[in-house]
């Protein structure tokens, strides 16, 4: 039994809700009366409700995000029908802005907007002791790290063994990119370094191997980022993996000397390029030195073992199909292991809406609120680009077609030629999801040899290398005529596991 149930729908089982753990850690004397119960978006809300009600809570607090708002809305609707006396409190970025027009807000009793780490405790205390507060929308004050109890000891042994461990050394972002909620998180606040590193030490001692830092700008404060890298380098052991979101044009020598010393595959940097079009960047208030970005990415790829994940956005105001393609080709030339092609989303509260009228921005009203068309890219072209992004994930980002992917663009524009493949693949397969790997490999072989003029033996060699490199031992029917002329299978047992992980994405 629990008076307070903290819950949400995570995107996958492997994910943990960092926000719920912060709420629980800061409940003070109410903590023994509370419990975290997490679910995945694939679970039925009616089954989730049954699990929650078994605990007979007086308060149900739900974390609402862009990926789970539909499931959360159904859960709240069913809960208020079955147990109308149970108090429902919402929180999270999806319900922190533009609350007036949201069905889930109408159904709930209270919404704590903003960073609710401390305000949530106050609301629960009032409900359990004196009755509900009169207002429905409760803005949270901006907490400082000195006021917060860190949540890392609340990760369970199951979390440590099976799930992603999220950590943060700072909150906020000094930049004002209009498409991003982080542009509203000013000022940047830093956790006390000694306390934070002590918590990281305890996680290491419990066996945590993978740390995902959610700081929006890890390399903003160079003294802190250097101290954190030094901490993990001194305690490095095989299997350690650290993920950071980095400012792409800020990589001074003070960090470089440390980054060089990490072995291949130990660091992953997520770098948000978003656009290489200077006019578009200016339009959306994004400050970025593209020449320095290129210099930094080339250095990372040539002199370090860092796994680079770079982001570009389709549909920004002022970005044409041609300028996006030019930026994509420029990024491919820099050689990151992964390029995430994201579709612009109209996140609640972001100032991107100021461009709606002049750039004819049309978004879906349903989550995840993706752009449908704008003044420069019509609906049909936007759909082509969405398929491009999906097929890029399946082919290039998956690591399943390391040698085959460069054959797709040859010596010409990677964007133009992959878009050509994307158009052909959609006609040939009729789907963008659920394509079995063997079937996708056959599609690629057919495209390369019949549409792109690649020699059959060369295409077969690349696809066969990629197919067996994933540890598969079967022989696809379409490759069998060529196998006698191809090299023997790769022995993956000789490749260390962490390097093998990185090698999946090497160009």
Predicted local confidence at residue 487, as pLDDT: 73
Mean pLDDT of all residues in 152-164: 95
- 3-class SS at 217? coil
Q: CA of 298: how far to CAs of 71, 291, 309, 413, in Å? A: 42, 11, 13, 19
Q: What are phi and psi of 448, to 5 degrees?
A: -60, -40
Token readout for 166 is: 């999220």
> Which domains occur in the chain, in start order?
4-145 (3.40.50.280), 164-344 (3.80.30.20), 398-507 (no CATH)
What's the CA gap between 344 and 330, in Å, rounded? 20
Phi, psi of 451 (to 5 degrees): -110, -25
Render pLDDT for 297-325 as a digit per residue (tens, 0 to 9): 999 999 999 999 999 999 999 999 999 99
Distance CA(80)–CA(234), nearest Å, equals 52
Cis peptide before 368 (omega within 30 of 0): yes
Contact predicate 377/344, CB 8 Å: no
Question: Rounded to whole angstroms, how far apart are CA atoms 153 and 472?
Answer: 40
Phi, psi of 372 (to 5 degrees): -100, -35
Whole-number percent of the chain with pLDDT over 70: 95
Enumerate residues 6+ apart whose C-beta is below 8 A from 480: none
- Give dist(CA 218, CA 226) in Å, integer: 10
Cα(471)–Cα(467) distance, rounded to whole angstroms?
8
The reported pTM is 0.90
| 344 close to 371: Cβ distance less than 8 angstroms | yes
| pLDDT at site 130 | 84
pLDDT the model gives residue 260 = 95
Judged by average pLDDT, the poorest of 8-22, 61-75, 399-413 is: 399-413
Instruction: State the Cα–Cα distance between residues 200 and 218, nearest whole angstrom.
Output: 16
């Amino acid at each position: 039994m629990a008076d307070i149930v903290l819950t949400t729908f995570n995107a996958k089982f492997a994910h943990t809700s960092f926000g719920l753990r912060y709420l629980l850690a800061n409940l003070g004397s109410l903590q023994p009366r509370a419990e975290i119960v997490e679910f995945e978006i694939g679970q039925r809300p009616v089954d989730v409700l049954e699990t929650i009600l078994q605990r007979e809570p007086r308060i149900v607090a739900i974390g609402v995000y862009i990926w789970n708002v539909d499931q959360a809305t159904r859960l709240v609707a069913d809960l208020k029908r079955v147990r109308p006396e149970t108090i429902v409190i919402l929180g999270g970025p999806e319900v922190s802005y533009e609350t007036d027009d949201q069905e889930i807000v109408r159904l709930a009793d209270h919404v704590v907007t903003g960073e609710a780490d401390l305000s949530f405790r106050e609301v629960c205390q009032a409900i359990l002791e004196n009755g509900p507060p009169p207002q429905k929308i409760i803005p949270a004050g901006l907490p400082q790290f000195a006021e917060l109890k860190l949540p890392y000891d609340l990760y369970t042994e199951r979390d440590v063994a099976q799930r992603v461990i999220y950590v943060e050394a700072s909150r906020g972002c000094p930049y004002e990119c209009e498409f991003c909620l982080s542009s509203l998180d000013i000022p940047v606040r830093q956790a006390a370094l000694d306390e934070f590193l002590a918590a990281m030490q305890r996680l290491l001692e419990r066996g945590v191997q993978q740390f995902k830092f959610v700081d929006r700008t890890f390399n903003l404060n160079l003294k802190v980022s250097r101290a954190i890298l030094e901490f993990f380098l001194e305690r490095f052991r095989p299997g350690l993996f650290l993920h950071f979101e980095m400012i792409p044009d800020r990589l001074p020598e003070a960090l470089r000397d440390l980054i060089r010393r990490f072995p291949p595959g130990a660091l992953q940097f997520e770098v948000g390029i978003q656009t290489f079009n200077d006019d578009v960047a200016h339009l959306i208030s994004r400050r970025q030195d593209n020449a320095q970005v290129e210099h930094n990415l080339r250095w990372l790829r040539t002199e370090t073992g860092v796994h680079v994940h770079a982001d570009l956005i389709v549909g920004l105001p002022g970005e044409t199909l041609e300028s996006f393609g030019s930026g994509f080709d420029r990024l491919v030339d820099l050689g990151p292991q992964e390029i995430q092609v994201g579709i612009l989303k109209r996140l609640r509260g972001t100032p991107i809406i100021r461009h709606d009228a002049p750039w004819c921005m049309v978004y879906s009203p349903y989550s995840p609120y993706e752009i449908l068309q704008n003044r420069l890219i019509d609906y049909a072209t936007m759909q082509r680009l969405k398929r491009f992004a999906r097929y890029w994930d399946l082919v290039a980002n998956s690591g399943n077609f390391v040698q085959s992917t460069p054959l797709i663009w040859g010596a010409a524009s990677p964007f133009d030629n992959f878009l050509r493949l994307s158009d052909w693949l959609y006609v040939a397969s009729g789907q963008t999801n659920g394509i079995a790997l063997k079937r996708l490999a056959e599609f690629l072989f057919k495209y390369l040899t019949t549409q792109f003029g690649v020699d059959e033996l060369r295409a077969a060699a690349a696809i066969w290398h990629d197919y067996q490199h994933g540890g598969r031992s079967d022989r696809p029917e379409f490759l069998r005529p060529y196998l006698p002329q191809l090299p023997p299978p790769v022995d993956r047992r000789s490749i260390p596991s962490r390097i093998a992980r990185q090698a999946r994405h090497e160009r």
